[in-house]
Structure 1
């Protein structure tokens, strides 16, 4: 760790993909606060490295690589939830990690995440842990059909979800995940999916962006529309929930909070990403402050930027072939 002034930090980022690249680009616009960016990523010459970050080549869960990153950094953040939370918890002051490793530990287990939200009176759909196939057969009766069987850990972009529509799919659904821990959720018949990008600083200041409407294809985000095509009542409800989520976690940084809007205008939290989020890319051009600059301001304890939507925006997520890497 390099001893620098409070306003001149070396920033370490776990993950050097597109989000890490955009964080690097934002950091380079703040030379008075961040002197250098170092990323940990398994892919040589990752996108963040191409944007000017120094790179440590290693897996996100490699404890030795995480320790090496900490030795070269003053403050650590992450663009992906695959980091080793235990390794991050072992890193001592004066190095700071935002959002905290404890938050990462909770969100990595989707059941623990739902439990945390529920305990903090944040609206979520009904859910229960599942210990066996017979347990699933009994508990699904609480919710009826369809119901969602989900992996607790390692799921993303819909991978790790199985919709059970009839009793005959129970065995297939349970065996699909092998011995991996799962939980069951009541199916939500939603009107639309939205997300709120919010930020909470180390000083407790909170700022939220207007809700964004998200359109998915094959469980992958394809388009975000800002602002979301929802009523003022729903928008205010979503923003209020986002503030409550960030205060419950007591975390610092940007949070992507994904939500369902039901046909009767209730808002339910689906899941939390304690990092900059794909549905916030539009802020680079549509908002007074991009989510990437905002994240850095939050973790550095600076005053948060304005979140005004300067003009309407649509973000289209252009993906390459499924077998393409890089």
Structure 2
């Protein structure tokens, strides 16, 4: 029997973009999000307004749909497990989320599976950060094991003098911490993968990612790397995808090191910001692929149509309400770009407000298009 109803935990921009493809394929979509005016609210068929730790709301969502997915990983694993125990379909599964949600557990699992990752240790107290106890030299990276994103929850410790401030900044042990060796990298890349319900995998092209202040600024596809390095990266991504036991999109973020190796930084069990280029750049977007997978449809073609660049629109000021966009007419003049605005009701510094995509016969041409358009847009 064909599934016809999809539940999404989270109503942010990723949920919204999932819905756009789900509706085009004829699905009814119910979202769960505590914000009455979240980006996905305006296009969802139903919106359950509830907190993400409200297990009763999870079961209400399950009662309305055939399959449940989620747009971010900082949610209650036990609640998802309870849904599965009652026979509800959840993709990715609670087991997959339990392995990925905590970065220390994620790294341990990847290492045990033979996936190349940075060296790391658990940090139980500030005493574990004493220089003579560390198995690797400075600089090192202190991380919260849960909750971090866009550079939040990370602190690069360059010398012993930074230790106390780093520990204090990341909660003084109130949340689990881990320490990683600092990887001197040539480039940050990511590969999107998708598993179907039979654990068959498919990969998207390699994306080159440029970060500013630890937030993704631009994604360039194809990544500007040698064929031999591309082969290594795709092999690692494929290996990771085959370790994941449930269906749906997966983003594998990696470093290309200065000595020519590929190291996995972290993975996310969902569509990802670095995959937004697929909407215009590939025959099948990451969002359509995710929907196809969780409802049991065959994979779409993941080939790149032509060189593509995505540039995020990041908040540069703080505006609490009544946000307006200026420069949209000028940015769209000439028809050179696609602009996606997320309909967020407030702006804050570092917040993702939208993105711009351009395709061209060359990477340089696509870069010029998105940068020109980006320069014309501002929030007031």
Q: How far apart, in 2, do the equivalents of 1:194 and 1:129 lie?
A: 26
Q: Does 1:195 align with 2:190?
A: yes
Q: Does structure 2 conserve the Cα–Cα contact (< 8 Å) formed by 1:256 and 1:277?
A: yes
Match of 1:3 in 2: none
Q: Does 1:169 align with 2:131?
A: no
Match of 1:153 in 2: 146
Alignment RMSD, CA only?
Answer: 1.4
Match of 1:226 in 2: 221
Q: Does structure 1 conserve the Cα–Cα contact (< 8 Å) formed by 2:128 and 2:134?
A: no
Q: Does structure 1 conserve the Cα–Cα contact (< 8 Å) formed by 2:3 and 2:66?
A: no
Q: With structure 1 as the length reference, what TM-score do the two structures score?
A: 0.94
Q: How far apart, in 2, do the equivalents of 1:184 and 1:83 lie?
A: 23
Q: With structure 2 as the length reference, what TM-score do the two structures score?
A: 0.81
Shift of 1:12: 0.3
- Alignment counterpart, residue 282 of structure 1, candidates 269, 277, 286: 277
2:279 counterpart SS class:
helix
Match of 2:255 in 1: 260
Q: Does 1:22 align with 2:17?
A: yes
Match of 2:91 in 1: 98
2:205 counterpart SS class:
coil
- Alignment counterpart, residue 50 of structure 2, candidates 54, 58, 62: 58
Match of 2:81 in 1: 89
> Highest relative contact order (Cα 8 Å, sep 6+), 1 or 2?
1
Match of 2:104 in 1: 111
Matching of residues 120-135 of structure 1 within 5 Å: 120-135=113-128
Matched residue pairs, number? 318
1:207-234 C-alpha deviation (Å, 9 max, x unpaired): 1011100111111111100111111111
Instruction: Name the CA shift for 1:295/1:322 in 2 (closer, same or farther; >3 Å).
Output: farther
Q: How far apart, in 2, do the equivalents of 1:28 and 1:45 lie?
A: 20
Matching of residues 200-215 of structure 1 within 5 Å: 200-215=195-210
- Alignment counterpart, residue 216 of structure 1, candidates 200, 211, 220: 211
Matching of residues 34-53 of structure 1 within 5 Å: 34=27, 36-53=28-45
Q: Does structure 2 conserve the Cα–Cα contact (< 8 Å) formed by 1:20 and 1:79?
A: yes
Q: How far apart, in 1, do the equivalents of 2:24 and 2:223 lie?
A: 29
- 248-257 or 41-50: bigger deviation: 41-50
Q: Identify unmatched segments of 5+ residues in structure 1.
A: 1-5
1:49 counterpart SS class:
coil
